Amino acid sequence: MDNISYNPLLEKWDTPFGTPPFNRFIISHFKPAIEEAIKLASAEIAAITGNQDEPVFENVIAALDCAGDKLGDIASVLFNLNSAETSSEVQAVTQEVSPLLARFSNDITLNKELFLKVKSVFDSREAAGFDREQMMLLEKNYRNFILGGADLDDEKKSRFREISEELAHLQIKFEENVLEDTNAFELHITDKNDLAGLPDGFIEMAKLDAKNRNKEGWVITLHAPSYIPFMKYSTNRSLKELLFKAYGSRAFHKDAHDNRELAARIANLRLEMANLLGFKNFAELALVDRMAETAEKAGTFLTELHSASKPAAIRDLEKVKNFAVEDGFSAELERWDWAYYSEKLQKAQFDIDDEVLKPYFVLGNAERGIFDLAETLYGIRFISNSNIPVYHPEVKTWEVRDGDGTFMAILYIDYFPRPGKNGGAWMTSFREQRVQDGKDTRPLISIVANFTRPTDTRPSLLTFNEVTTFLHEFGHSLHGMLTKCTYESLSGTSVARDFVELPSQFMENFAFEKEWLTSWARHYISGEIIPERLIDKIKASSTFNEGYACNRQLGFGFLDMSWHTITTPFINNLAEFELGALAKTELFPAVDGLNTSVSFTHIFGGGYAAGYYGYKWAEVLDADAFEYFKETGIFNKTTAASFRKNILEKGGTDKPMNLYKAFRGKEPSIEAFLKRSGLK
């Protein structure tokens, strides 16, 4: 059969729980499947606009929410593959279909007849007696049409189409360039003396990396499980400088993967789009439906938090500098020295580091511990199911069931780095939850990470940061799996960007709690439960260099807002622009040839444009929420039930502050955050 006459992506997915049929399709199926799915979705839109009945919620707003379900499911599979298991073939198809999808999206929001129907329902909303979820969906739809150019004249609509289609292409290309440069670099070590200071487990992993590349010796890469430990433990300063500069100069080499022009072009197109819609900059456009509401309010939040953290950041830096001198370091402390000496100071101050903790953090045990935590808090169960098709043999799958046995979701987890996988960790979905014709279609949720691989002699042993990362992404997955909404556009993590990090960052708090750690953290050789003295040290060191870390995170927030508050097209020197944006948070001299903007995939590739401040915004929420858990008991089922009911199940069915107050009984206070982070 040829690809056109038979396309498994277009068939009903006759797989366990309707999961994507990874074992049946090939990459060449995607483009014709998406083209056909666009036709089907367009027919659904035409049926809405052609309906002669009076425009009401069900035949316009609810019908719109259901339109294009098949298209969304197919596109989700493709874009997730492009992030987690890409290839030149996948990248080519993604580039080809992205403008098609942007064009289809524009066909909806720029459809005058459709907008008039939406507006008719919106204008009659006060007398219609909608419930809260219906009102939120109506408001979201109307806002999406306005922000999607529905009220523009024909000339501006045409330009809006061009911009959105070009952005769809450029943002994917931006991420591809970063991945290409990340994969292209390797530090090949052949002299064992160059491994001084590195832990045995790391050396074994580096040797395995070399073997996999058909090389003798050891290979260090820019992927986190390789890069971060090398910077922390290697005593070879010149190699750390080389590695640091390679990482910091990704997509900044004036070659085919250079992102300078792409970053400027993306920023300028976003500005032009915002101006077309009547906003002075892109941040004003992006923040319309966020908790912060305006760029000024987001900027004030960053500035106030910076004022609170900068003195602590300077103190942290001076402590590390003084320690380095005491340790015999005579040169000027540079950026590539920071990880090594701060790690060494932490070890000296608290007698703790990743190498002490990793033997207790076996990945398999952490997985079980996190699943058990979810069961304790929310009563859900995870049942391994190896019959679900996966996109790579390493991907693991589970059925997620509620306490009464009700099916809730499928969870995929993909733990380890590969050349075809983007860096970092994230939660995503292959299908969102929705209720249609009385049937609750449950979500397909995926966690993708880049954790330390097992070696021939050791299981995968996680760093403490990898444990908190696992908890973070699992928190996102709970938000996606436990959702109980009617409309897909509001379900799961479809919430304000500065609210979406609450469930994820909330889960990180358990990493510091004895009651949870002792339930699963056992030494991989002896089986010994993690000693209380180590847990005490984890808690005691939890604010170590927090001022420096907060200041650095705020720097990313300021850089993001600088790019998205420009009011005239960017024609400046990108490196100089970045220096200005980061000036208030910089604690080290600038290093020529390095640049953050060109590899800042969160804002130029992902969905955090004008929203990076949201990580810190949500920290205030999560610290306040966990303070409530500590007051009532961290495993208190009543408190957990309230968090599940009012936060995890509700998606975007109400305004974030209303949801938070329904859980907490009051608005959040910054006090818990300042106390937890040691800034007060």
Evaluate whether 301 touches 670 at the Cβ level (below 8 Å). Answer: no
Q: Which helix (H) or strand (E) holds 32?
A: helix 30-50
CA atoms within 13 A on the CB side of 136: 23
What whole-number distance in Å separates Cα of residue 616 and Cα of residue 618? Answer: 5
**Can you tell me the distance from the alpha carbon of 70 to that of 660, in angstroms, rounded to the nearest whole number?**
33
Kindly give the residue spans of alpha helices, DSSP state H, lying in 379-492. 464-481
- The DSSP element (H or E) to which 440 belongs, if any, is strand 439-441
Token pair for 576: 């100089």
3-state SS, residue 386 = coil
Torsions phi, psi of 398, nearest 5? -140, 150
Separation CA 670–CA 668 (nearest Å): 7
Q: Which of 672, 13, 670 is nearest to 305 (CA)?
A: 670
Q: Residue 637 CB: number of other CB atoms within 10 A?
A: 14
Closest listed residue to residue 624, CA positions, set 648, 660, 662, 678: 660
Give the 3-state secondary structure percentages of the chain, helix then strand then coil, rounded to 5: 60, 5, 35
Q: What are the structure tokens assigned to 149, written together?
A: 């150019």
Residue 407's beta-bridge partner residues? 401
- From 367, 473, 513, 578, the catalytic residue: 473
Environment class of residue 332 by beta-carbon count within 10 Å: exposed (0-12), middle (13-18) or buried (19+)?
A: exposed
Amino acid identity of 352? I
* Contact between 251 and 266 (Cβ < 8 Å): no
- Our answer to whether residue 126 is catalytic in this structure is no
d(CA 345, CA 320): 7
- Alpha-carbon separation of residue 313 from 247, 304, 353, 624 (angstroms): 23, 14, 21, 23
Catalytic residue numbers read 473
